[in-house]
Amino acid sequence: MKTRILPAIAILAATAVMTACSADDEPTPRPRATPTLPGPSPTYVAAGRQFTLQQGRSVEIAAAHIRVSFDQIVNDSRCPVDVTCIRAGDATVALNVSSSIPGVLAPVVQLRLVVGSESSAAATGHAYGYRITALDLKPAPRSTQPIAQSDYVVTLVARVG
């Protein structure tokens, strides 16, 4: 009887080892962590509501899946507040509008909106089914002090249409 038990134990042990080895050959899939991008989480704004955007920053229009980024001021010929001018002047704001849906390859729409223009149409651009209008630009220029790009803040509104 002793001779029959030893082979049976050996067979059971070998089967257990082989099963364990075959399980190690196929790694168990593990969930991967979602990579986080450096920087602050996105700021969401509601369509139809005014919002401010500092140069170099972005916002996402809630429920629209679009991102609006303030790229730069292309030119600023507004009359300085400490000078008397014949004409008020204007400034051109460059915006980039893109899809905020991950994995969607959609073109970036570049808008150039004119703040302070006599024509309100120049202050409005269209992208992804939205009308984006520049309402104001700060700070106001001074004749004795240049404005750094990073100091500009534009007030915008995005409406369906």
Query: Is CATH 2.60.98 the classification given to domain 44-160?
Result: yes
* 8 A C-beta contact, residue 151 and residue 139: yes
The residues spanned by each domain of the chain are 44-160
**pLDDT tens figures, 123-149:** 999 999 999 999 999 999 999 999 999
What distance in Å separates the CA atoms of residue 26 and residue 19, rounded to the nearest whole number? 12
Q: Among 13-22, 26-35, 152-161, where is mean pLDDT lowest?
A: 26-35
What distance in Å separates the CA atoms of residue 56 and residue 69, rounded to the nearest whole number? 7
Say yes or no to pLDDT of 22 above 60. no
Instruction: Output the pLDDT for position 20.
Output: 46
To the nearest whole number, what is the mean pLDDT of the chain?
A: 81
Helix (H, G, I), strand (E, B) or coil at 95: strand
- Report the alpha-carbon angle 126-130-134, nearest 5: 65
First-to-last C-alpha distance (Å) of the chain: 90
**pLDDT tens figures, 75-130:** 999 999 999 999 999 999 999 999 988 888 889 999 999 998 777 789 999 999 99
Residues belonging to the chain: 161
9 residue type, one letter: I
Q: Is the model more confident about 63 or about 4?
A: 63
What distance in Å separates the CA atoms of residue 61 and residue 156, rounded to the nearest whole number? 11
